């Protein structure tokens, strides 16, 4: 449960923040956010998923954010705040909480910042942060403890970097990005040339990583620098935890990728795509725009715009479902074939 602490807003004030209307007591003091099934006095929750409707009749939350068209079938003991989109409105409340929580400013005495690098206004540099030569950090950035910023790095405004992040040489990061703990941006791509004697020679990785605006990268993820040119993460991309993006990959705007996915070198991913967890994409593949890929799928060939695919190798979902019916019944089919063979 989240505590607003410094806020203590009334239901009327909260409704004004999220463009809602109060149905009930407008002066209830709210100091906490809660799940609807775990609500307590003084907390506010939300109802967006119909699966949780039953809890609104028993919740102890003082207020619940609901949709404008919610029609209760029983008497309620909680105050309602009606909005167009409860999920989005509750997200706005979480952002309001989060903005009040962030108050760290200043530069730690244990940080090491090269004299050729520059910091924007209101920057926060945590304990044991290292910033190497000729790097530029924008205004209102937060770089948490034990992070490393290499040489010639460019970081835009209002960027949040959590503890232990490594941003290596020549990386460019836009505005309003978030990089979670222990991720590595700009490590060498996996490039090795096979030799006649069976050994491998490392191919120098001379490119960089470009991360554009409003990108979020989960913890323990790796984005490799390009062999030549740039690995590019476009505006609005959201990457979950433990994701591997190889050298020279490009990911289109507003694509979202769930945990443990891996995208091999030089693949191009379109705009507004959605990847489930543990999807694998081989190298040099082109995935179109608005593509949806089910979890644990293996993409081994180009995918056209607007496709929905699943399986290994991944095929259109309808084809996969038809094939699975036969696969599921395969033991019975084999029994029937064996029985007919014996009766001959």
- Considering only CA atoms, which of 185, 178, 191 is closest in space to residue 150? 185
Q: Which of 180, 247, 284, 326 is catalytic?
A: 247
Q: Where are the beta strands (DSSP E) in 192-273?
A: 192-194, 200-202, 208-211, 216-217, 222-224, 230-233, 238-239, 244-245, 250-251, 256-257, 262-263, 268-269
Instruction: Name 288's Cβ contacts closer than 8 Å, sequence gap at least 6.
Output: 270, 302, 303, 304, 305, 306, 307
Neighbours of 276 (CB within 10 A): 17
Neighbours of 321 (CB within 10 A): 11
Helices and strands in the chain, H and E counts: 4, 41
CB 18 within 8 A of CB 83: yes
Instruction: Please tell me whether residue 222 adopts helix, strand or coil conformation.
Output: strand
> If you ran DSSP here, which 8-state letter would residue 188 be given?
P
- How many Å apart are CA 186 and CA 171, to the nearest integer? 6
CB 177 within 8 A of CB 156: yes
CB 189 within 8 A of CB 246: yes
What's the maximum distance between 2 C-alpha atoms anywhere in the chain? Answer: 89
Which tokens belong to 328?
Answer: 């599921």
Is 247 labeled as catalytic in the residue annotation? Answer: yes
> 67 has which bridge partners?
83
- Considering only CA atoms, which of 95, 96, 93, 11 is closest in space to residue 48? 93
CB 255 within 8 A of CB 216: no
User: Which residues are known catalytic residues?
Assistant: 247
């Amino acid at each position: 449960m989240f505590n607003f602490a410094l806020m203590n807003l009334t239901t009327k004030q909260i409704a004004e923040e999220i463009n809602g209307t109060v149905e009930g007591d407008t002066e209830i003091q709210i100091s906490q956010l809660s799940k609807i099934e775990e609500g307590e006095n003084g907390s506010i929750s939300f109802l967006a998923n119909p699966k949780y409707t039953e809890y609104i009749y028993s919740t102890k939350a003082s207020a619940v954010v609901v949709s404008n068209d919610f029609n209760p079938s029983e008497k309620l003991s909680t105050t309602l705040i009606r909005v167009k989109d409860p999920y989005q409105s509750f997200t706005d409340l979480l952002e309001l909480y989060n903005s009040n929580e962030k108050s760290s400013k200043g530069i730690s005495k244990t940080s090491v910042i090269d004299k050729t690098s520059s910091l924007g206004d209101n920057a926060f540099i945590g304990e044991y942060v290292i910033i190497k030569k000729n790097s530029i950090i924008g205004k209102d950035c937060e770089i948490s403890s034990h992070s490393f910023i290499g040489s010639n790095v460019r970081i835009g405004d209002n960027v949040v970097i959590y503890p232990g992040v490594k941003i290596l040489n020549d990386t460019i990061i836009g505005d309003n990005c978030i990089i979670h703990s222990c991720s590595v941006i700009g490590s060498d791509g996996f490039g090795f040339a096979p030799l006649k004697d069976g050994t491998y020679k490392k191919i120098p990785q001379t490119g960089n990583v470009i991360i554009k605006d409003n990108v979020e990268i989960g913890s323990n993820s790796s984005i490799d620098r390009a062999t030549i040119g740039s690995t590019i993460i476009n505006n609005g991309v959201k990457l979950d935890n433990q994701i591997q993006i190889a050298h020279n990959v490009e990911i289109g705007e507003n694509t979202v990728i769930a945990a443990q996915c891996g995208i091999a070198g030089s693949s191009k991913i379109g705009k507004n795509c959605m990847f489930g967890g543990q999807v694998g994409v081989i190298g040099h593949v082109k995935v179109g725009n608005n593509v949806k890929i089910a979890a644990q799928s293996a993409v081994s060939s180009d995918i056209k715009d607007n496709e929905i695919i699943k399986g290994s190798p991944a095929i259109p979902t309808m084809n996969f479902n038809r094939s699975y019916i036969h696969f599921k019944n395969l033991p019975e089919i084999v029994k029937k074939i064996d029985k007919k063979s014996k009766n001959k």
